[in-house]
Amino acid sequence: MALERLQSRVAAITHDLIMIPVAWLGAYWLRFDFGEVPEFYFHQALVALTVVVPLQAIVNWHFGLYRGVWRFASLPDLIRISKALVAGALISTMALFVAGFLNGMPRSVMFLYGLLLLGCLTLPRFFYRWLKDHHYHFRSAKRVLIVNAGKAGDMLARDMLRDPGQAYRPVAFVDDDQTKQGKEIQGIRVVGPYAAMPRVVKELAIDVIMLAVPAANAAQMRYLVSLAEQCGVPFRTVPHLEELMSGQIRVQELRKVRIEDLLGREPINLDWPRVREGLTGRVIMVTGAGGSIGSELCQQIASLEPAALILLENSEYNLYRIELELREHFSELSLHAHLADIADVVACDRLFAKYHPQVVFHAAAYKHVPMLETQVREAVKNNILGTKVVAEAADRYGCAEFVLISTDKAVNPANVMGATKRVAEIYVQNLDAKSETRFITVRFGNVLGSAGSVVPLFEKQITNGEAVTVTHPQMERYFMTVREACQLIMQSSVLGAGGEIFVLDMGKPVNISRLAEEMIRLSGKMLGRDVKIVYTGLRPGEKLHEELFHEREKLMETGHEQIRLARYREVGWDLLTNRLAELDKACAAYDTNRLGELLNWFVPERRRVGDASEKAGDVVALTKGD
């Protein structure tokens, strides 16, 4: 490799040394109108070369003409060459004057020499780069259509041209901006609008479509993906703007279009200074730290440089995994991982006494709706009594903030899971009035890709060629990405004064059947031919439509446009604590009938949806099997 670099540098120096006399003699030839140079002037030119060549060679070296690589010749190389030529011409003129060689020399020679030498030094460099970019490697490269001729498309095309080893050749752009159509970017023509994509792919024999639209919203992405799907060739996309931390868009960062690209909303704009002020330098505890929400929350909190991060998790594998990830990416973080059950009073008390966390994010919960319908005792023990244990410890040890992560299923709950989360909300909201700790509840819907959600299930079924199982054609759910959810959780933690329920803006609900159809198409398979959708009927505890707030909760604006505030309903403290004590006794006695009665007392709006024909508001008594 060192020998190759030396040979390359020697070749460049040799080329430039040859170009100096070529440009010098060419200047005389031009001066005499491309005719024969008179003998006197020709002799004068040859003598002057003994001064011009060594001086220009020294100046070229001084200005770093041989630090650049011809393969990547660019504007900085042109600037260096220009500086070297100006300096070389001035120094040569002074030297020729001192040596007495300027007598009788045509005045235009030095100017013409500079222009010719500029061309002789730059054109071969850029021609060599063009030759490498457009011919040598691109003979077997995949032909690429770039969607969007903006900054992202320009950067993507430039990266492919500079790195042909990636085997991609940009052939054309499409863009809806009429002012760009017909123009060229990096030598590549904008051949039409987005709608012309299928025609362009066919006419130009495109192999790959690259969507260079990092700022596209969900509706725009759905439109572009629908066009790309009609073309019958693979398509890739650049990450969203918030994922492009480096500010550069490269071929290596291209990825498949994900379902969240089509279901997302407008980018979340956090008040980062306020979030940092609220979390940086503080001792923070996350319960359920190894779960879908908990693990992402830990990653984002760790990046804010807390004084310490305490992980509480009852799954040995999940705790091992998140601890490993955090230690790998945040080596300076003061990290303490503990295997414990949130319902274990002794364990929680010991952890709070040892670390005195200032902020607690309570993400630990059982959340699988159909499973918990027959596991009411475990749901109550973990989701209600476990929350009570952690919340009381936070109060007892002077924690500043306690954030309960809740769910839309707690609103008019049709299942045990939602009812237990609603009771947890009621408890921490009312505890806030009795405590110096600020108790805050954050409520949102489904998280894309979380454990137990439909997205991983659908992905598995599609990969295996199985039928995709959807419970009902009209089933709708709210969705957001885990990253979005955690960012808004952190924002809510610094907005709350205590006792509030913050409802995250989940956008519009998504039809689950349509979600399945989109995922099938994104996998490259044909709906109905390769993969079918089978409707299985509502499962125990499921509703067709979820809600984010109760009709009696007055929804109010907050300081953040994507967070709303729902006022909670007060419950007499003595009555509340007495009923919670009864829940504890019923759990200890494994009395599921009594647990069902108590849940109905706590959540009188609790309802069951037995089949698709029942209204979402119907109240149905618990069965004895609960």
Q: Which residue has the higher pLDDT, 522 or 144?
A: 144
Specify whether 466 is located in the same domain as 509: yes
Per-residue pLDDT reduced to its tens digit, 358-402 = 999 999 999 888 899 999 999 999 999 999 999 999 999 999 999
Specify whether 171 is located in the same domain as 306: no
Give the pLDDT score at 623. Answer: 29
Average pLDDT over residues 220-246: 75
Give the pLDDT score at 79. Answer: 77
Q: Is pLDDT above 90 for 160?
A: no
Q: Which residue has the higher pLDDT, 128 or 68?
A: 128
Last residue of a domain, one of 230, 257, 284: 257
Per-residue pLDDT reduced to its tens digit, 430-469 = 999 899 999 999 887 766 655 556 777 787 888 888 888 8
Specify whether 167 is located in the same domain as 291: no
Give the pLDDT score at 287. Answer: 97
In a domain, 618, yes or no: no
- 438 touches 403 (CB < 8 A): no
- 13 touches 58 (CB < 8 A): no
Average pLDDT over residues 238-260: 58
Average pLDDT over residues 221-246: 75
Phi, psi of 493 (to 5 degrees): -65, -25
Tokens 């999940």 belong to residue:
318
Token representation of residue 400: 């500043």
Closest CA to 333 of 353, 363, 304, 296: 304
Average pLDDT over residues 64-75: 60
In a domain, 119, yes or no: yes
Specify whether 210 is located in the same domain as 300: no
Sign of CA dihedral 512, 517, 520, 524: negative
DSSP string, 299-323: HHHHTT--SEEEEEES-HHHHHHHH
Per-residue pLDDT reduced to its tens digit, 36-65 = 777 777 777 777 877 788 887 888 777 777
Q: Which residue has the higher pLDDT, 410 or 608?
A: 410
Per-residue pLDDT reduced to its tens digit, 502-555 = 877 666 777 788 778 777 877 777 777 778 888 888 776 666 766 555 555 555
Q: Which domain, by its residues, includes 319?
A: 272-602
Q: Mean pLDDT for the chain?
A: 79
Distance set, CA 257 to CA 211, 371, 521 (Å): 9, 32, 11
Specify whether 451 is located in the same domain as 510: yes
Average pLDDT over residues 17-21: 79
Last residue of a domain, one of 222, 257, 292: 257
Q: Is pLDDT above 70 for 353?
A: yes
In a domain, 609, yes or no: no
Cα 539 to its chain centre, rounded Å, is 34
Specify whether 145 is located in the same domain as 121: no
Specify whether 394 is located in the same domain as 509: yes
Average pLDDT over residues 565-592: 86
Last residue of a domain, one of 192, 222, 257: 257
Specify whether 250 is located in the same domain as 359: no
Token representation of residue 390: 């952690």
**Of 105-109, 132-136, 529-533, 579-583, which gets the smallest average pLDDT?**
132-136
Specify whether 314 is located in the same domain as 233: no
Specify whether 171 is located in the same domain as 124: no
Tokens 């041989």 belong to residue:
66
Q: Is pLDDT above 70 for 134?
A: no
Give the pLDDT score at 201. Answer: 93
Give the pLDDT score at 609. Answer: 38
Specify whether 56 is located in the same domain as 165: no
pTM for the structure as a whole: 0.62
Give the pLDDT score at 526. Answer: 74
Q: What is the DSSP letter of 559?
A: S
Percent with pLDDT over 70 in the chain:
77
CA 415 – CA 546 distance, rounded (Å): 12
Question: Looking at the annotation, which residues are catalytic?
Answer: 409
Q: Is pLDDT above 70 for 149?
A: yes
Give the pLDDT score at 268. Answer: 60
CA 471 – CA 10 distance, rounded (Å): 72
Specify whether 510 is located in the same domain as 457: yes
Maximum alpha-carbon separation in the chain? 119
| Number of domains the chain contains | 3
- 576 touches 400 (CB < 8 A): no
In a domain, 617, yes or no: no
SS3 397: coil
- The CATH number that applies at residue 394 is 3.40.50.720
- 475 touches 481 (CB < 8 A): no
Phi, psi of 445 (to 5 degrees): -95, -145
CA 428 – CA 568 distance, rounded (Å): 10
